[in-house]
Every structure is written in structure tokens, then in C-alpha cells.
Structure 1
Amino acid sequence: MEIIHNLRKHIPYWILVMSSYGIFRYYGFADSLQMPKPDISGETLPFVQILGIFALLGLGLGVFYACVDFFFEKYVSKRLGIGTRQFLRVLSYFLSTVFIISMITFVASNILDLGIDIYFGWWVREKQFWAIMYYIVLCSFVLYFISSTTERFGKGKYLKMLFGRYRFPKEERVVFMFLDLKDSTTIAESLGHYKYSELLQECFFDLNELVPQYNAQICQYVGDEAVVYWSYEKGLENNNCVSLFFAFENLRKEKKESYLKKYGIHPAFKAGIHGGKLIAVEVGHVKRELAYHGDVINTTARIQAECNKQNESLLISEELLMAMHKEFRPESKFVGNILLKGKKQGVNIHSIDG
């Protein structure tokens, strides 16, 4: 699923930006960049063919860049420092770019009989290559900015913030899950702060692999706790809010031997889930972020805190459980009408065993 996500992000973007480059090249920028238009029998290469060549180049770049990102996120990000990782990633991008441009140029030259000579190291002194490379670098920064901002605020939220939707408080329906490491204090004392941080880092890395598959977003990390959220509809769709927790449980079970070998323990998590109406608003200036205010967040946190008292791994409010489609509603056990801390009325809570 992660590779599909990367392909969906890179391919449309690079086809768009490289097609735009083809348009710029065709309509007048070629002369200033010292890039004469290809000529066949004394006639300029048709615009459609130029656009097709650059669109194909964008497709190739998108596929290769998506594969590079997937490889580094999946196999390299946890093994190397940020500096080394970024250097190798940029080097991989550069080699991919050289390969793709060489292949597209070679194929286009043979099909359209352009007579372009592609030899080893041809790109070193080729001004056209460095012009395209400079353009690709600029577009890469734009994509990185968009991706980082989208990951920070969530899909759909960034555009809404960009157009000022959250400059003033807006009411929304959201599902929250507070996910917390069991026996965290004991584990931290036994492992030490460095090893303990490595454990949390790996656990949350595993969680992040699953989050896109269940249409979820990470709201924030607070110590050993992750706060995950959905729009109300997406949280209920296919029981995503419950399915994510058990997918995370299954992934940890699959990696049990790895956790035991590295840390001497097999981490377990508990979670509370609840949903409803709350207020979303943009806060801060120096460090701007989207904040959620309302009883839903407090109630979800209190429900998660009940896991230890009730000796359960997953608790959910009856209100949210009943909102799920009756035919696909997960089996549950009624825990009781619990008077949560700070509440004047009890909340009906159920446990789900998977």
C-alpha cells in the first residue's frame, strides 16, 4: 500500500511539471536556454510530440522517485542518520534522473529519427540536461513543501487552511483514538531512556505504515502516546477506527521475535475511541497548527485511561459503537456506565476483543 501511495503522489505531479516544461520550451523559452527545437526535414517537431516526450519523462521520473522514496522509508530511514540518509536519497534521485532522461532521449531519438547521440557521460557537458535538472530540483522543493505540510495538517486540511477556513472556529465531526503504551513507566525503567526512545520510535514507525491504509491521520505524539483521528464518516467507514488498532496489534505480533531480540520485551498498547462534534481552529503564529477543542477529546482520553482499570486493551463509547453500520458492527462487551473524571454524567463504554 505504501508504494501505491507514493506512486499516486509522484506520478501525477511529475507528469504535470514536466509537461509544463515542454510547454515553456515550445513557446519561446528554448532560445534563452540555448535549446533549439528538434528539427525533422526542416520542420519544427510538432507540439503534441514535444508534450508527449516530456509527459513520458514525467511518468518515468514519477515511477523512479516513488520507488526511491519507498525504499528509503521502508528499509533505510531507521538505520542511518538524517544527513547520511538525505545524501544517499539525493544521489539516488540524481542517478535516476540521468537514467530516465537518457532512456527517454534515446527512445525518442530513434522513434522520431532525431539523430541525437547518447554516449556514456553525455550529460556532463550538455546544457539542456542541466537546464532540466535545475527545473527538477526547484519542483522537488515544491513537492517536498506540499508533502510535508499535508502530512503535518492532514489530507484536505492543508488546502482549507491555505484558504483561511480555520482562521475562525469551525464545528466538525471527528473520531479520535488515544493510543498508549502499556506499563510504560516499568518499561522505561528497565530499558533506560535511550533504548526506550528507540522502542517508541519503532512502534510509531509501524503505526505510520498502517495509518494511510485506514484513512487516518496522526494528530500528535505525546510521550508514549499517539493521538489518531478521522473525519466522522471515514472513521466509521469499514470500521476504520477499530480496524486500525487490530491491524497494529497483528503487526506487532508478527514482529514479536524482533522486539524481543532488540529490547527483551514485546510492547502492548491500549486505546480509547470516541467521536462527535468539536471545534477546529488555527492557533499560533510562530508555530502555527490546527487545534481541536471540545468534550470529544477529553472524553476519549478518559476512556483510554479506563483501560487499565477495566483490564482491557480497547474501549469505545457506546455512542460511536452504535453509529457503526449494524451489519458490520464488531462484537463487543458492555463494560458499564462509567463516570469519567471531570464528567457529571456517566458514559456507556464497551470493550472490543478483535
Structure 2
Amino acid sequence: MNARLERKLRLLAIVVAASVIGAVVYSLAQGFTTATGIAVGISYGLLISVAMTGISQFVLDGPLREWLGGLSFTANLMVRSTIYAAIIVPILFFQVGNIIAGVPPDPSHQTFWIDITYAVVFLILANLVIGITNIIGPRAFLNFVTGRYHSPVEENRFVLFVDIAGSTGLAERLGGVGIHRFLDRTFRILTLSVVDYRGEVLDYVGDEIIVTWPERGGAVDCRPLRCFVAMRDELSRAAGQFEREFGSMPRIRGSLHFGPVIVGEIGDVKRAIVFNGDVMNTAARLEELSRNVDGGFLASRAAMDRFASVPPFAVHDLGRLPIRGRADGIDVIGIAA
């Protein structure tokens, strides 16, 4: 299944399950303890959650994704909440859940405002969770909630560094605001490929994006390599748009390394999950070397040896290259330009 679609469907399933549980709890709190009363609550939970999340994932994060992405966090939240309210209010007012469950509607609308209040509170909380998840990343959010990295652990990881070439010169020509918009647009396009190949954005550092994969997930179908090539393809498809808006098309170079990293939460006022270790340093130094090779990409032999299959495109062995911080150098592989 397409990774983007799988991600949307997974979120849909989570929200629907949470909504159904919340609807049952609300029904019991209101005194509707019969099977019919609970069935009505489940009907409303299903209706509202499927409609709300479906529009969120396939419309707001689909055709309207770029427009909403240009809004501030608060403005984005308000737009989403307004659209969701336009879904919830008619469902509750016309008592669609009652009709589906085979229960006659209540003409007095006795619980309408209580139902609206509960739905609005649930809506605001859901939007806040989604908004925070979009800021720190879904996997990071889940890891914070579960406490997976509350104590540091060692994991084998693929680490991909992707750098936007020529950004210094572009910054001089476009100015501060212009280069920020350029980088933002570029990173938004690059992360589409990260989702497609099931990677995790670790960080944005200046004009670089750092992506990681656990050993098992990254080894499948050479995902880190395919991700980098897909990034270039996505940027090529958007070349016309970049030329019209910025007068220049982004070019990327990158590096890939594999090995043990220490992953753990760090900080107090601003808590973060960070990766430390020689793998991170080596990947960054490989990216520096990639600026001087054809194809603009270097992968360590350690990373290439962990793949479960042969890369689906031509690669060439560049032998052992000297690298800062390692007296014996490092064996590297390049890809065609």
C-alpha cells in the first residue's frame, strides 16, 4: 500500500477508535446505559470521526495542504475547527445518529447544547494533538507519550543527511525572508519522499534535513537510497514553480551512514529526543565530501552492506576516501548523477 495512504488510514483508524470510546463514555455519563443508548452514542462517534478525519486527511491535508501550511498555527487551527463545526452541528441538530441507530429523534433537542459542548471540547483537543504532532512529528510525539526514550537507549540506525546546494548564494540574492520561504517550500517537498519511504525527519538544521530509519525498516528495498533519489525527482517536477517564484531550482546533495546511535530525551524547558554518536558525525562529514563527487551523494559501505536487496539503480564503488576525524578513512559508494 502507498505509504502516504497507509499513514492517513492509520490516523483515521486511531481517531475513529478514540471517538467511539469517547462517545460510549459520554453516553454512560448521560445515563444512557441500555444497548440502544450506547448504539446511538457509537453512531454519533462513527459519523463525526469518519467525516471529520476523512476531510482532514483527504482534503485539508490533500488539495488544501499547501494553503493551510502557509497559515500560522492559530489560523490553521481556527480554519480546521470551523470546518469541523460545520460537520458536527448539522449531525447533532438533525440527530443523524439516532436515525442510523433506529431511535426516533427527540423533537425537544433537550441535550443538543450539552452534546455540542462535549463535541467542541473533543474537537479542540483533537486539533491541538494533531497540531502538536505536526510540529514535533508523529513518531516523536508517540515516543514522548510512551516514554520510549525517557532513558537513553542504543539503536542501529540509517542516517541520511540532505543538504540544499548553493543556499548561501541564494540567501544573498533572495534576502532573509526569501531564502526562508525557499527552504520551507523545498523541505515540504522533500518530506513527501520521507513519508513515501517510511523515514523519520529527525531535524532541520539550516539548509539541511536529517532523516533516519531503524535498521529493519531502512534495510527493506534500500529505502534510504530510494528516498534520496525520489527527493530529486520531486524537486525536478516542481522545477517550473520554483523558477517562477524564486528564479532558481533547488539542488540537493546527500550522504548516508549506518551504525549504533544513542537515542534519548534531553533538556528541561524545551524537551527533545536527540541522536548522538559517531554515526551522526560521520554522516555529516560524508555530506561535506559529497560536494566534490559526481552525483553529489555518498553512502558508506557500512550502510550499503545492511540493505536486504540490490539497489534499483546504478551505483559505483569510490573506494576508501579520507575523512576528517578518522585516520583510516572510510569506504564509500556513489550513485549516478
Q: How big is each residue's C-alpha offset from its partner over 1:211-232, in whole Å with a ceiling of 9 and x where there is no partner? A: 2221111111111111111111
Return the match for 2:303 from 320, 330, 333: 320
How far apart are 1:336 and its partner, in Å? 2.5
CA distance in 1, matches of 2:197, 2:317: 25
Q: How big is each residue's C-alpha offset from its partner over 1:95-131, in whole Å with a ceiling of 9 and x where there is no partner? A: 122244456x2474377261545xxxxxxx9553332
SS at match of 1:346: strand
Aligned to 1:34: none
CA distance in 2, matches of 1:163, 1:22: 25
CA distance in 2, matches of 1:275, 1:134: 51
Aligned to 2:83: 92
Within a 5 Å distance, the mapping from 1:287-302 to structure 2 comes to: 287-302=270-285
Aligned to 1:30: 30
Give the structure with higher Rg (CA).
1
Q: Is the 8 A contact 1:207 1:248 kept in 2?
A: yes
SS at match of 2:30: helix
Q: Is the 8 A contact 1:2 1:70 kept in 2?
A: no
Within a 5 Å distance, the mapping from 1:231-246 to structure 2 comes to: 231-246=214-229
**Between Structure 1 and Structure 2, how many residues are aligned?**
334
CA distance in 1, matches of 2:269, 2:185: 30
Return the match for 1:222 from 197, 205, 211: 205
Is 1:135 the counterpart of 2:118? The answer is yes
How far apart are 1:181 and its partner, in Å? 0.7
CA distance in 2, matches of 1:19, 1:148: 22
SS at match of 2:61: helix
Matching residue's letter, 1:5: R
Is 1:66 the counterpart of 2:61? The answer is no
Aligned to 2:262: 279
Is 1:203 the counterpart of 2:177? The answer is no
96 and 67 in structure 1: CA distance in 2 versus 1, 3 angstrom threshold: farther
Structure 2 runs not aligned, ≥5 long: none
Return the match for 2:231 from 229, 248, 252: 248
Aligned to 1:14: 16
Structure 1 runs not aligned, ≥5 long: 32-36, 39-43, 118-124
CA distance in 2, matches of 1:143, 1:111: 25
Aligned to 1:5: 7
Aligned to 2:39: 49
SS at match of 2:326: coil
Q: How big is each residue's C-alpha offset from its partner over 1:58-107, in whole Å with a ceiling of 9 and x where there is no partner? A: 3333323434532475241244455544332221111122244456x247
SS at match of 2:204: strand
CA distance in 2, matches of 1:329, 1:67: 31
Q: Is the 8 A contact 1:166 1:280 kept in 2?
A: yes
Q: How big is each residue's C-alpha offset from its partner over 1:187-210, in whole Å with a ceiling of 9 and x where there is no partner? A: 211222221111101001112223
SS at match of 2:211: strand
Within a 5 Å distance, the mapping from 1:131-170 to structure 2 comes to: 131-147=114-130, 150=133, 157-170=140-153
Matching residue's letter, 2:170: I
148 and 129 in structure 1: CA distance in 2 versus 1, 3 angstrom threshold: same
Q: Is the 8 A contact 1:6 1:69 kept in 2?
A: no
How far apart are 1:267 and its partner, in Å? 1.0
Return the match for 1:334 from 302, 311, 317: 317
254 and 291 in structure 1: CA distance in 2 versus 1, 3 angstrom threshold: same
Percent identical pairs in the alignment equals 21
146 and 276 in structure 1: CA distance in 2 versus 1, 3 angstrom threshold: farther
CA distance in 2, matches of 1:64, 1:129: 24
- TM-score with structure 1 setting the length: 0.83
Matching residue's letter, 1:17: S
CA RMSD across the alignment: 2.9
275 and 127 in structure 1: CA distance in 2 versus 1, 3 angstrom threshold: farther
Q: How big is each residue's C-alpha offset from its partner over 1:144-194, in whole Å with a ceiling of 9 and x where there is no partner? A: 454455556655554544454433331111111111111121121122222
CA distance in 2, matches of 1:113, 1:175: 55
CA distance in 2, matches of 1:161, 1:207: 25
Q: Is the 8 A contact 1:177 1:274 kept in 2?
A: yes
CA distance in 1, matches of 2:318, 2:281: 19
Q: How big is each residue's C-alpha offset from its partner over 1:254-280, in whole Å with a ceiling of 9 and x where there is no partner? A: 111111111111110000011111111
CA distance in 2, matches of 1:262, 1:138: 41
- TM-score with structure 2 setting the length: 0.86
Matching residue's letter, 1:95: A
CA distance in 1, matches of 2:202, 2:321: 26
Q: Is the 8 A contact 1:21 1:54 kept in 2?
A: yes
